[in-house]
Structures are given as structure tokens and as C-alpha cells.
Amino acid sequence: MQVANHFDSFLDAALRRICDSRRRAASAGIEVVARSGWTGHAPRRRLAIRIVACLDCDLLHHLGAVPEGGTARCRRCGGVLRKHPRNSLEHTLALALAAAILFVVSNSFPFLSFEMKGRVTETTLMTGIIDLYNGGKWEIAALVFLTIELAPVAQLAMLLYVLVPLRVNRIPWQLPRAFRILRHAQSWSMIEVFMIGILVAITKLMGMASIIPGLAIWAFALLMLVLSGAMASFDPESVWERVEELR
């Protein structure tokens, strides 16, 4: 009974805050701390008011437009409410294009070469997957193909699908669905795990044969870093803000 009363009180307080925010929407603002150290308020003419709860202390805020390069923080605990990186879309697009090139290189050249008793055997990413399938391990082959080939391709394709049209002032078709595909592809992309497995395998085989790293393995390692950087710099809120400007 006490829990229900507390919950009702919380709902009443939240509703009162929302009602008050609508009455004060014309003059509401939040503290914005830019990287240069400037503190002020977002311009009223571009201020889009919305209610945002702090993830650390649950305090509700009237969140307006955050200037580029600025950070909106909670008034009570100082937690980050919103970051607006500088040139986020341009940086992400450049990294995504670089990652696409590295992906093509890593699948077009030899990954590893094994030399044993004068005999040299070269392998690529796809030949390794095919060898697993031919060896009767089709489940592992399917999992490897999904996590190091299909998921990264979908991840890169969705990034380019979203960012390239925005770069030329066009709104991508079915943008919400593209965001969902990107989120699912990111959860299945496991390039880092595959690279750790490759390093462990190389360490174990060094005493049995001479292992020569190919161009593809270096491209694949760079792909891991560049793709991670692209996802780290990708700011979905900047995408939606850009879409609102184009409408």
C-alpha cells in the first residue's frame, strides 16, 4: 500500500512538472557548458523544449537546443544530459568511408600465409569460412560469416545510407528503419572478438609453422579501430536535428 502511494505521488509530481513546463516553454532554458568554457542559454528562436530525465538522479529538465561543441548537464548532480559534438556527421561519414575501403581490402587480399616444409598456403577470410563449412562445422561457419562479414557490412551500409543523403541535403527514405537495422547490426558485429581469436591462434601455431601476416590482416585490424571510431562519433540526435532542418 505504501509503495502504491509513493508511486502515485511520483506520477503526480511528474505530471505537475510537465504542465509547468508547457506554461514556461517560452522562457525555459538549461545551463549549457561549451568546451571553450562559456556558460549561457540556448537561443530562444531555435529552442525546442522537451522533458529529459537525468540518468543519474532522475531530475527532470527542460532541455533546449545545445550549441555545437557544447554539453548539457544536470543542475543537481552534474550528470551529462546531452552532448553535441562538433561536425559529428562529417567525422562519422569520413570514418565510415575509410572503414568501407578497409573492409574491401581485408576481403580481397591474403589474410595469413603458412609455410611448412617449403610449402606455402595462403588463406583469406572467406576461404577460412568455406573450409569450416566443408569440414562439417557449418554452425561455426555461419556464426563467423554473420559476425565478421554480414553484420559489419550491414553496419557500414546503414551508416552510409543515413549520412550520404544528409551530406547532399536529402532525407534518407525509411530513416527510422535504417536506425533499427544499424542498432541490430552493431550488436552482432564482433570483429574485436575475431581478432583476439586470430592472435591466440597465431601464438599457438608459431612453433609448428612459419606464419606470414598478409595485407588483409593489417587492413582488418585497422577496420576494427576505424569502425569503432565511426560508431563512437555517430550522434543520432545530430541526425534528427539535421532532418528537422531539411524539412
Mean pLDDT by 10 residues, the chain (247 residues): 47 52 42 36 45 80 72 81 78 94 92 78 84 87 91 94 91 90 90 87 77 88 92 86 82
Where is 101: in which H helix or E strand? helix 88-108
- Identify the CA nearest to 50 among candidates 234, 240, 233, 246: 240
159 in the same domain as 70: no
Q: Using alpha carbons only, how large is the chain's radius of gyration in Å?
A: 25
Tally of domains in the chain: 2
Q: Do 159 and 180 share a domain, yes or no?
A: yes
Sign of CA dihedral 169, 173, 179, 185: negative
What pLDDT does 227 receive? Answer: 93
| Model pLDDT, residue 222 | 94
Is there a single domain that holds both residue 149 and residue 225?
A: yes
Q: Let me know whether 136 and 166 are in one domain.
A: yes
Residues 180 and 61 in one domain: no
pLDDT the model gives residue 104: 94
Last-in-domain residue among 19, 49, 83: 83
Cell numbers 528562436 correspond to 45
pLDDT confidence of residue 146? 92
Q: Do the Cβ atoms of 235 and 85 come closer than 8 Å?
A: yes
128 with 234, same domain: the answer is: yes
Q: Structural domain of residue 11, as residue ranges?
A: 2-83
Query: 93 and 64: one domain?
Result: no
**Boundary-marking domain end, from 39, 68, 83:** 83
Domain co-membership, 32 together with 63: yes
Task: Report pLDDT for 28.
Answer: 39
Burial code (b: 16+ CB inside 10 Å, e: under 16) for 168-180 equals eeeebeeeeebbe
Number of Cα atoms under 13 Å in the Cβ half of residue 185:
20
pLDDT of residue 226: 94
Q: Which grid coordinates are listed for 181?
A: 537495422
Same domain for 140 and 21, yes or no, is no
Based on the fold, state whether residues 126 and 155 are members of the same structural domain. yes
